[in-house]
Structure 1
Amino acid sequence: MKKIVLLFVSCMVSLTSMADEGMWFLMHLKRLNEADMQKKGLKLTAEEIYSINNSSLKDAIVQFNGGCTAEIVSGQGLVMTNHHCGYDAIAELSTPEHDYLTNGFWAKSLSEELKPRSLSVRFFVRMDDVTKRILDLVNDNMPEKERQKIIQQEIAKIERENSENGKYIVNVKSFYSGNEYYYFVYQDYEDVRLVGTPPNSIGKFGGDTDNWEWPRHTGDFSVFRVYADKDGNPASYSVDNVPLKPKYHLPISIKGFKEGDFSMILGYPGRTNRWMPAAGIDQNVHYAYPAWVEASKVGMDAMKKHMDKDQAVNINYASQYSRIANYWKNRQGMIDALSQHKTAATKRKQEKKFQKWANKKANKDKYGEVINTISSYYTATNEKARHDNYLTGTLRSATFAALPYSLGNPLQQYAEANEAKRKELLPRFEAALADTYEKLYLPLEIDVLTDELNLYGAKAGNIAPYIQQLAQQNNGKFDGLVKEAFAKSIFGSKEKLEAFLTNPSANVVSEDPLFKISEALMDKYRERSPDLEQLEGNFQAAYRKYIAGFLEMNPKTKYYPDANSTLRLTYGTIRALPKDPRNDAKINNYTTLQGTIAKYKPNDPEFNIPKKLIDLYEKKDYGRYADKNGYMPVNFLSDQDITGGNSGSPVLNGNGELIGLAFDGNIEAMAGDVIFDPKLQRTISVDIRYVLFVIDKFAEAKNIINELTIVE
């Protein structure tokens, strides 16, 4: 094991040694990447990118609200990220009277900036390797459950030791499926306010039709500001808070770039599965993802028919709908790409080589049964994967699939409490109910839950027993049943729940029709049998050994760890795709405002364009942001290795200057989370010149422009 650990420490690089593949740890850049990056055009040192003792690029990169990336672009805490990353906050702040999603918003002073209820950014402070400390406490002969218990206990100690009495958030993360461990130190700022957003017709131009597609013409950006107390420390929202003075902010280049230029991206990629075995790919393609896609589409269709009829409903559900739609198209793209590129067959070839090595006398005792154990696990869980994706699709789309259960248990405790305790708890419950029900539209919720239960009952297989019972009693249909349940349920409105709080009864909750449906779904979601736990334990041990064995088998190959929402750097070049007749650009690595106008469809929800943008185009009034060849650039392509979570990541040139915001990948390379395709894989970004053009010329928000450090 020590030999393997040493190998990991020295060789955390790419799975295939392709130049632009890899999501690199910043602490290893000096040793692993600096020379190669400088050869390709980087003008900085590794120390200027990642330093613990001095300000560096990493101090300008933040995780945005737990799921995206953003960057600090001014000395007053100004933050840029994608429009779709800020979508939740923008939707929350919008009303029919002040519809910022549709019309955009631009604060012309600090006092006009808007505070969403909950929005935070996370700064990365440092990281370190604790592999030896953790793995010295366990061995391969331990039952998996015991092993994990020991590891979790040690992780808790490490996190306490490095938090400095709560000043920092510390996360210990597993890499290579438990063969390595690193801890990451963060600082969170929770007072983040909206500064500016373009209207949907710019920030979401192309909608679901263009999502994951190229050529793109989307102004996918939004602007926020981080606030701190007067000493620069994290603080809850207060009118006394002041804009954060960051350790570092990114300069912005409007000089442009060309095919082959070096570029790099820093961000928080969410999840890749580059080690996924062939049987796992087959499970996703044939069982899990088709169920995900179908359940998502059912929920989307039920939501959309109500959203199209009422602008208030459209605003309130826009963010939820957008999230579901994004992954609906992503998962269908994954099915298509994994099938078309025969990714499972490629993995089987790798596994065949591993099996041959594993069955050598010196390796057989440890690795001989690894592939068989992995394959057996997937065979045993294929149908469960189908069921679970229909179920989670229901939980994602239908608010009332989980809400009655999450509210019900606290309400039962409230009902059983004495009068004094109830009096203490009542204000919290009233506030929680007001917040929960404020933007819910019950006719939509009834239809979504009905349609999802109809699908779940018909397609999922081994469904929750109570749901099966209801299906049998109602000829497999839930239409009238769900509507009746809402009518009778205390969860059917905020007013009914408020009435319950004045006269509570635990029995009323336990017998409530919506609670019983929700409880059945959530119990099924959490269902764990001893046989399944044993099966999963065997799989985890085998998967960990497979990765360790694969590395041992290939000691001269360089490796990098799968993405898991930790800060990484990926680098490559500005790189075109083959010429596309749909793109007016001379080289198919960028798009122009002319191409945006060509897609214009008046009053179309996806391809409408504000009149002012058209006027600016017709006058060619691009200010200082036009390309040297006269056109207004919009989006561009590069070949870095990114995935979900990189949305909003800064694309930087060799000088470390901001040239764009990454926002998407291309559908041709949708298998990228499982296998990197050096020919097809691209990052789609919004050109920073288009961002500044929209802020300056379209929004006339020169106060924002004046804060920035712009390099011409």
Structure 2
Amino acid sequence: MTPSTSTFVLGDEGMYLFNDLPRQLLQERYGFQPSDKWADELRLSSVRFNSGGSGSFVSSSGLVLTNHHVASDTLQKLSSEDRNLIRDGFLARSTEDELKAPDLELNVLIEIIDVTDRINAAVTEKNNPDVSAKQRQGVIASIESESLDATGLRSDVVTLFGGARYHLYRYKKYTDVRLVWAPETAAAFFGGDADNFEYPRYNLDATLMRVYEDGKPAVIKHFLRWSEIPVSDGDLVFVSGHPGRTQRIFTVEALEYLRDKRLPFVLDYLRRKEILFQQYQLEGNEAARRGRDELFGIQNARKAYTGMLAGLQDPQTIATRRGRQHRLMTAASNDPQLKPLVSAWKEIADIQQEKAEQLTRSVSLRSDLFQLAISILLLAKEDQKPNGDRLAEYTDASRDSLLTRLTSPAPLYNDLQRVKLADEIALLLERRGMDDELVQEVLAGRSPREVAAEIVDQSKLADPEVRRQLIDGGINAVLGSDDPAMRLARIIEPEYRRYRAIEDQLSEREKQAYAKIARVITAIEGTGGYPDATFTLRLAFGTVKGYVENATEIQPTTDFAGAYEHAAAHAGQDDFDLPESWMNAKSKVDLSTQLNFVSTADIIGGNSGSPVVNREGKLVGLIFDGNIQSLTSDYLYTDQQARAVSVAGVGIREALRSIYDAESLASELGQ
């Protein structure tokens, strides 16, 4: 069958690779074709946060713009009982006042190299998932290590199109990152959980950081200029960011597994954790501060997954995908060259059954102290192996980033660690039963709370220097340690590895099956598409556009006047109280200034903090959310009502000048 030249996309769908931009599509639809210079400037101005999220350089002296909620992990780690940066915000009046983040890594994509042929040539045992997985893992580790040695750049091999393509991404890393400005949570998350994933919005979900090199603000050649003109209805805009994970190549059976097994399982877990953290926060003001960031993340995820599940529970969603899948399988079955690939759909269906059986078997206890311990243990043991035989996150190319995390000076609070570890051990007991051998060994006749209390109170791993000494001491120090957290890690490790091996085998089989499906899709629907998101840099586009909801026309933009009106309309509700700084500055604010806007750009989680630029490549906005209708975007894009929500660039500058008295910072933007 001769491949079509058309692209099977809907509306403004697409998270496109920077080395394969949809130039023809943009020219045909919008009369715009990005030049190489335009694309390179945008790529080199875009930033990935290793904590999850996106950002952009917005000045030649290293200013980085991202969301408040992307920066909240750093804000939390820089806070203390006497200084609550998440709640109260922060402004550095000079570079000397800027606060160094304890463990933040920012990545800038420098180069993309196609390494598909080399990887495919190295995988010779495709019919044996165990062997092929090791072969693939080995050649990927070699490519990454060779690239790191040759360039000094972070080097990651990225799987694309379900395993049909592999690209090497090279990143410049910045690890000296400092906080410059953050608004109060009351402004950044105005409207709270009630308004989350809704629209209209009136949020200043923005934060500024600065990267340093050799102890000085970095000199940045590629950064975004700042547009002084607010967006208007119908404007074409572009989003350059790092969408996390999508499942748009997923088969019907894979989506049914998500709908019936995986998402309900995850939601049960999130609801459990939400209650846990809510109860912990009731212990006092300091507990409320310590637990705030994690509770926010849990609540945000709970609402997002609820929306995803609701979309999959709409019969029309599966019916639409089933129709497309049937067309693809029929067309492939009628083509002698493609027919052998049709078996991939059954392979995917079989894998979903095996995944369901493994859902409750994970032993990766989600406790900071345990995660540090198991990572240190695995690092010591993986270091004994050739680089190509190691688990992916313990290879030479991954080592620097791993060590940054393992030696972070960010505080660990014993009371919170006890609560988290006790609940994780209790959950292990609930899922496996009291008669399970691993459970028996972990408990050793004690309750989950007793085990957690002993480990947290007696462990020394909260001290980063102790962790550093263990790492430097290597395998003998790690295996000889009598630290109770390390003892727990040694008990858990065999089962962790067994479960990980099953996961890796299933993943390898899925990669091979989806690679076949990708070949069918390319042959039948064309080559102009885009791969599923992989938390790597992508370009999306769309127009500023309102929508109709419940027979009401939702306008595409909001302004500061609307924020004050929204607060007044919800007087007495804490989440709708604007901060004192806003109320005191009301007379100075140009209330007509644009604050938020929506567009049809195709975004998901991970895009938070992404810059929004216009045709000239100037920054006009900052992605911070999607509306509730966009939550199906992990597996299905639609522009009927789904919208990406942004903070307006003009709104950020107006707030800095009129509310936060930060004229010099406002003037630095785009300069």
SS in 2 for 1:673: coil
Q: How far apart are residue 194 of structure 1 and its match?
A: 0.6
Contact 2:12 2:542 in 1 (8 A): yes
Matching residue of 1:233: none
Q: In the alignment, does 2:308 pair up with 1:331?
A: no
Distance 2:245 2:558 in 1: 29
Contact 1:68 1:647 in 2 (8 A): yes
Q: 1:404 to 1:291 in 2, by over 3 A?
A: same
One of 238, 241, 244 as aligned partner of 1:264: 238
Distance 2:477 2:168 in 1: 46
Q: In the alignment, does 2:624 pair up with 1:663?
A: yes
Matching residue of 1:25: 17
SS in 2 for 1:660: strand
* Correspondences of 1:311-322 after superposition (within 5 Å): 311-322=285-296
For the pair shown, the structure with the greater C-alpha radius of gyration is 1
Matching residue of 1:117: 102
One of 515, 522, 527 as aligned partner of 1:544: 515
Matching residue of 1:294: 268
Q: 1:490 to 1:351 in 2, by over 3 A?
A: closer
Distance 1:538 1:659 in 2: 43
Q: In the alignment, does 2:453 pair up with 1:481?
A: no
Contact 1:633 1:690 in 2 (8 A): yes
2:556 aligned partner, one-letter code: N
Distance 1:367 1:654 in 2: 42
1:684 aligned partner, one-letter code: V
Q: How far apart are residue 265 of structure 1 and its match?
A: 0.7
Give the alignment's TM-score, normalised by structure 2: 0.84
Contact 1:77 1:226 in 2 (8 A): yes
Q: In the alignment, does 2:75 pair up with 1:49?
A: no
Matching residue of 1:421: none
* Correspondences of 1:109-508 after superposition (within 5 Å): 109-138=94-123, 142-160=127-145, 162-163=147-148, 165-229=150-214, 241-340=215-314, 342-360=316-334, 362-363=336-337, 366-385=340-359, 387-388=361-362, 395-396=365-366, 398-399=367-368, 402=371, 405-406=374-375, 438-442=411-415, 444-458=416-430, 460=431, 465-466=436-437, 468-469=439-440, 481-489=447-455, 492=458, 494=460
Give the alignment's TM-score, normalised by structure 1: 0.80
Matching residue of 1:426: none
Q: How far apart are residue 315 of structure 1 and its match?
A: 3.0
2:10 aligned partner, one-letter code: M
Contact 1:299 1:452 in 2 (8 A): no
* Root-mean-square deviation (Å): 3.9
Contact 2:186 2:579 in 1 (8 A): yes
Q: How far apart are residue 178 of structure 1 and its match?
A: 1.7
Deviations 1:151-203 (A, max 9, x none): 44444454455446343222222211221122222211211111100011111
SS in 2 for 1:637: strand
Instruction: Report the number of matched residues.
Output: 641
Contact 1:486 1:492 in 2 (8 A): no
Q: How far apart are residue 364 of structure 1 and its match?
A: 7.1
1:131 aligned partner, one-letter code: T
SS in 2 for 1:317: helix
1:383 aligned partner, one-letter code: E
Q: In the alignment, does 2:31 pair up with 1:70?
A: no
Contact 1:174 1:181 in 2 (8 A): yes
SS in 2 for 1:71: strand
**Unaligned regions of 5+ residues in structure 1, if any?**
230-240, 413-430, 475-479
Q: How far apart are residue 607 of structure 1 and its match?
A: 2.6
SS in 2 for 1:165: helix
Contact 2:11 2:638 in 1 (8 A): no
Contact 1:30 1:47 in 2 (8 A): no
Q: How far apart are residue 336 of structure 1 and its match?
A: 1.0
SS in 2 for 1:692: helix
Distance 1:564 1:531 in 2: 22
Contact 2:376 2:478 in 1 (8 A): no
Deviations 1:329-373 (A, max 9, x none): 221221111112543332222222233234337157622422222
Deviations 1:540-562 (A, max 9, x none): 4323212212322334x631111
Matching residue of 1:608: 577
Matching residue of 1:639: 600
1:287 aligned partner, one-letter code: K
SS in 1 for 2:447: helix
Q: How far apart are residue 494 of structure 1 and its match?
A: 4.3
Deviations 1:207-234 (A, max 9, x none): 33322222222210000111123xxxxx
* Correspondences of 1:584-603 after superposition (within 5 Å): 587-597=554-564, 598-599=566-567
Q: In the alignment, does 2:657 pair up with 1:696?
A: yes
2:74 aligned partner, one-letter code: A
Q: In the alignment, does 2:533 pair up with 1:563?
A: yes
Distance 2:651 2:439 in 1: 54
Distance 2:37 2:434 in 1: 55
SS in 2 for 1:284: helix
SS in 1 for 2:248: coil
Contact 1:450 1:482 in 2 (8 A): yes
Q: 1:189 to 1:603 in 2, by over 3 A?
A: farther
Q: 1:164 to 1:247 in 2, by over 3 A?
A: farther
Q: How far apart are residue 19 of structure 1 and its match?
A: 3.5
